[in-house]
Amino acid sequence: MTHVERRTPPRAVAVARRSLPIRTELAMLLRLLGLQGAWNYETMIGNGIGFCIEPALRLLPGGIHTPQFKAALARQSKYFNAHPYLASVAVGALARVELDGEPADKIERFRTALAGPLGSVGDRLIWAGWLPLSSWIALVVFGLGAEPMTVLVTFLGVYNVGHIALRAWGLRVGWNRGMRVAQALANPVLRRGPQVIAPLASFAAGVGVPLALMRVIGSGRALLGAVIVGAALGAFFLVRLRGRIEGWRLSLFLLAAFVLFAVAR
């Protein structure tokens, strides 16, 4: 009886890394800013995840021409959906598990499990919290009579301090925790952040509405009382409609009608 030795190609020996080289980390951080460059309805930000992880995958034993590199890149470029800023957590964690040489099926299960929470947390924290807060703060500054440059620096400064910090933190924490990254989502900023930001944004909105209104209204100031009553009724009407028509569409329709009235009269 002949003995046939069934050999599988040896797994590349992964080198346990405690930290990413600074150049690799910076390349990943820069690429994270373009994460949504190929956003589409089929793979969402999947290709972007592969694009961002690629600099880390170059550190796999043998570099970019090995089957391990190609298999990892193919795996990481499949469908993925998450908030674009918090996707940095996934990018860091997935880079870590790839370089740690975890089995492919385990990485794929982990990747699938990551997407959901990173989407909902990011939406509440950034789109419904940090962005409106930054806008309202800038509108308050505008309403106080600030110059254009001051308003722009305020808005872009406040917003991007949070934006860049979140992306950088996400990449770092994802890398440091790897498979155990779920614990990072219990971070107080992510868990309680939306509950803290929403009241702050509400206060800023309260201050900002009258201040911004007064600065923009100019010659219409004589009709201030009517504007306030009209705006309150309009807001009540929009809220009652519960999203059946968006405010910007209604604004376009009403303003276009006013133009026709003003021109054709």
User: Alpha-carbon distance 179 to 189, whole Å?
Assistant: 21
Min dist CB 95 to other proteins, Å, is: 14
Toward other proteins, which CB reaches closer, 112 or 127?
A: 127
- Burial 51-84, CB ≥16 within 10 A → b, else e: bbbbbbbebbeeeeeeebbeebbebbbeebebbb
Beta bridge partners of 44: 40, 80
Toward other proteins, which CB reaches closer, 166 or 181?
A: 166
Neighbouring CB atoms inside 10 A of 208's CB total 21
Alpha helices for 43-103 (secondary structure H): 46-57, 67-76, 87-99
Q: How far is CA 231 from CA 44, 142, 167, 201, 226, in A?
A: 38, 20, 38, 20, 8
Strands, E, within 140-208: which ranges? none
Toward other proteins, which CB reaches closer, 177 or 238?
A: 238
Toward other proteins, which CB reaches closer, 19 or 108?
A: 108
- Burial 174-202, CB ≥16 within 10 A → b, else e: bbebbeebeebbeeeebeebbeebeeebe
Min dist CB 4 to other proteins, Å, is: 30
Min dist CB 241 to other proteins, Å, is: 9
Min dist CB 180 to other proteins, Å, is: 26
Measure the CA angle with vertex 126, ends 120 and 121; round to 5°: 20
Toward other proteins, which CB reaches closer, 13 or 222?
A: 222
Show Cβ contacts of residue 223 under 8 Å, excluding neighbours closer than 6 positions: none
Min dist CB 149 to other proteins, Å, is: 8
Min dist CB 3 to other proteins, Å, is: 35
User: Alpha-carbon distance 147 to 130, whole Å?
Assistant: 23
Min dist CB 265 to other proteins, Å, is: 5
Toward other proteins, which CB reaches closer, 71 or 176?
A: 71
